[in-house]
Amino acid sequence: MDELKSELDATLHARRELGTEYEAALVDSFLGKVEQGLDRTIDRQVRRRLGEQQVASARGVRPRTSGAEGFGERFGFGIISLIVAIPLSAIAVAQADLAGLIVAWLGIVGVNAVHAFRDRLPLSTRHDERE
């Protein structure tokens, strides 16, 4: 980060000395350096994650989803479950009254529980990973 700050300072200093006619070239140069820094950071993160996945695969466990990705996936799954629960509840009540509603909600809760705890299952017990 300090490197980019010094690059920005140098770019602004050069703009003051050279004038506005070189502004576009100076901005392009600075943005190129920012892009190179981002590329290096992303490459490092991708290599780290691939390494983690390889180690987890060698150990026979599914790698845990990182915080933001895991939360977004779980949150989205929960929202979709609630949206699907509305018509399922209506159909269950219409077909089997309270007993149907209870069975439908037990199924919804069960699917969400399996989804929430699937990261803790070893690969050897997961059928979808072997196929």
Digit-coded pLDDT (tens) for 3-32: 878 888 888 888 888 888 888 888 888 888
Comparing 46-55, 62-71, 79-88, which segment has the lowest mean pLDDT? 62-71
Last residue of a domain, one of 18, 38, 59: 59
Higher-scoring residue by pLDDT: 126, 38: 38
Residues 48 and 75 in one domain: no
How many structural domains is the chain composed of?
2
CB 66 within 8 A of CB 59: no
Report yes or no on whether pTM surpasses 0.95: no
31-54 pLDDT tens trace: 888 888 888 888 888 899 888 888
Residues 29 and 54 in one domain: yes
Residues 82 and 32 in one domain: no
Domain extent for 13: 1-59
CB 18 within 8 A of CB 10: no
Helix/strand/coil (H, E, C) string of the chain?
Answer: CHHHHHHHHHHHHHHHHHCHHHHHHHHHHHHHHHHHHHHHHHHHHHHHHHHHHHHHHHHCECCCCCHHHHHHHHHHHHHHHHHHHHHHHHHHHHHHHHHHHHHHHHHHHHHHHHHHHHHHCEHHHCHHHHC
Residues 41 and 101 in one domain: no
**Amino acid identity for residue 117 in this structure:** F
Residues 69 and 111 in one domain: yes
Block residue for tokens 């506005």:
20
